[in-house]
Amino acid sequence: MTPFQFNTTKSLISEAGAADNLAEICQPYAPKNILIVTDPGILKAGLLESVLPPLQARYGEIQVFSDVEADPAERTVNNAIELARSTGVDLVIGFGGGSSMDVAKLVALIASPKCTQSLSDTYGVNQAAGERLPLIQVPTTAGTGSEVTPIAIVTTGETTKSGIVSPILFPDVAVLDAKLTTGLPAAVTAATGIDAMVHAIEAYTSKIRKNPISDMFAREALHLLARNIEQAVHQGQNLEARSGMLLGANLAGQAFANAPVAAVHALAYPLGGHFHIPHGLSNSLVLPQVMRFNMSAAQAHYAELAPIIMGEDYLPGEHAQICEQLVQWLENLIIKVTLPNRLRDCGVPESMLPQLAADAMLQQRLLVNNPRTMTEADALAIYQAAY
């Protein structure tokens, strides 16, 4: 067996209503000054209303940074770091989707008195150094799995997204409270849900660090996500479906934290960078065509996943037939969860496709994990097929 290492967040709490117990969850760290990192949409949805009072009752004033935007910019991260430093924060809670949780990770690292780095020193793999502040993550989308990954993504410059990948960024505690996700709008539920499915699919076919534990997480993630995504989108208040999605996204996060994602994400990032297409939708737009491209190299793996994803719809056959069935099933799912499925419907001008292909090539950190080598010409052909 190929040697491997598997890392994840130290502690996972999964219970509807668990976020109301954050005061107790923080207790082992004896914090004197807590910062919650979140976004304006979360505040507006009232998700902090039952969470803040018990924290204030036990720890006094709580700092709240609520200016995180989707695909957070460097400036936003630095503003949050500044608030944490100037107020002497000693514990950080990320409360929101991947955007808020990623900012929280970087604040916990760079605002720590035991870290001498600035944000720009940390970009890339294993560049972050030092010791971070205690970090508790509370996801409110079922998508990125950031609560169990060693990754934070920042928008650098106007259009580029850069990753910070370091084991220091694995949070201390992940709190999965499905009640927080029942009001998530259908479009966000659909996009973030497909993002989670892509995490599991890409982890399962990851060329470099795929291993038996990441495979196990990916399979169970896909079982939960494929069974629950339609209900979560169309009956948002269904707590069972929401719980399945939140756990599924978390398991997918643990899978890709150890067997990294690949070309779907590499081609998705330029769409987010140039056109502010949400991360999950960007993935969804290129997923079927990237799978078709990968088929010659990943056929056996896709065929293993097909019955798990398709459930009763699965029909046995030759690998090539099963793979085509699976891609068509996913194309149908994308329509059923009412996501747009062509780049042309998302404000992408056709003349930009070569630029997108060139930008995708900058994501070599991800492309090395792809089961099939992808050139710029291949990336362009995929964007054209998805147009």
Ligand X SMILES: NC(=O)c1ccc[n+]([C@@H]2O[C@H](COP(=O)([O-])OP(=O)(O)OC[C@H]3O[C@@H](n4cnc5c(N)ncnc54)[C@H](O)[C@@H]3O)[C@@H](O)[C@H]2O)c1
Residues found near Fe ion in the complex (CB under 5 A):
195
- Work out what residue 143 binds among Fe ion, ligand X, none; the CB cut-off runs from 5 to 8 Å by kind: ligand X
- Whichever of 47 and 357 has its CB closer to ligand X, that residue is 47
Q: How many Å is the Cα radius of gyration of the chain?
A: 20
Query: Checking phi first, is residue 201 left (phi over 0); if not, alpha (psi -120 to 50) or beta?
Result: alpha
- Whichever of 42 and 353 has its CB closer to ligand X, that residue is 42
Shortest spacing between CB 165 and ligand X, in angstroms: 9
- Whichever of 141 and 205 has its CB closer to ligand X, that residue is 141
Q: Quick one: which of 241, 264, 239 has its CA closest to 383?
A: 264
Are 128 and 87 a contacting pair, CB within 8 Å? no
Residues 64-83 that bind ligand X (CB under 6 A): 70-71
For residue 248, state whether it binds ligand X (rule: CB under 6 A): no
CB under 8 Å to 142, separation ≥6 — which residues?
Answer: 181, 184, 189, 192, 193, 196, 232, 242, 245, 246, 248, 249
Shortest spacing between CB 68 and ligand X, in angstroms: 7
Residue 378's CB is within 10 A of a number of other CB atoms, namely 19
**Which residue from 31, 94, 98, 244 is in contact with ligand X, where contact means CB under 6 A?**
98
Shortest spacing between CB 198 and Fe ion, in angstroms: 6
**Which residue from 96, 171, 270, 371 is in contact with ligand X, where contact means CB under 6 A?**
96
Number of residues counted as binding ligand X (CB under 6 A): 31
- Whichever of 224 and 295 has its CB closer to ligand X, that residue is 224
For 87, counting Cβ atoms within 10 Å of its Cβ (0-12 exposed, 13-18 middle, 19+ buried), the class is middle
- Work out what residue 130 binds among ligand X, Fe ion, none; the CB cut-off runs from 5 to 8 Å by kind: none
For 116, counting Cβ atoms within 10 Å of its Cβ (0-12 exposed, 13-18 middle, 19+ buried), the class is exposed
Residues 192-231 that bind ligand X (CB under 6 A): 192, 195
CA distance 365 to 375: 14
**Which residue from 16, 19, 35, 39 is in contact with ligand X, where contact means CB under 6 A?**
39
Which part of the chain contacts ligand X (CB under 6 A), choosing from 13-21, 183-191, 284-292, 364-372?
183-191
CA 195, 178, 172, 64 torsion-angle sign: positive
Shortest spacing between CB 62 and ligand X, in angstroms: 19
- Whichever of 193 and 371 has its CB closer to ligand X, that residue is 193
CB under 8 Å to 306, separation ≥6 — which residues?
Answer: 314, 322, 323, 325, 326, 329
For residue 184, state whether it binds ligand X (rule: CB under 6 A): yes
For residue 190, state whether it binds ligand X (rule: CB under 6 A): no
For residue 99, state whether it binds ligand X (rule: CB under 6 A): yes
Strand-pairing partners, residue 175, are: 13
Strand-pairing partners, residue 160, are: 156
3-state secondary structure of 228: helix
- Whichever of 195 and 215 has its CB closer to Fe ion, that residue is 195
**Which residue from 8, 9, 66, 140 is in contact with ligand X, where contact means CB under 6 A?**
140
CA distance 100 to 243: 20
Shortest spacing between CB 185 and ligand X, in angstroms: 6
- Work out what residue 362 binds among ligand X, Fe ion, none; the CB cut-off runs from 5 to 8 Å by kind: none
CA distance 159 to 16: 37
Shortest spacing between CB 299 and ligand X, in angstroms: 26
Shortest spacing between CB 256 and Fe ion, in angstroms: 8
CA distance 337 to 327: 15
For residue 45, state whether it binds ligand X (rule: CB under 6 A): yes
- Work out what residue 247 binds among Fe ion, ligand X, none; the CB cut-off runs from 5 to 8 Å by kind: none
CB under 8 Å to 140, separation ≥6 — which residues?
Answer: 42, 47, 95, 96, 97, 100, 180, 181, 184
CB under 8 Å to 227, separation ≥6 — which residues?
Answer: 244, 311
Residues in contact with ligand X by CB under 6 A are 39, 41-42, 45, 47, 70-71, 96-100, 102, 140-141, 143-144, 146, 149, 151-153, 180-181, 183-184, 188, 192, 195, 279-280
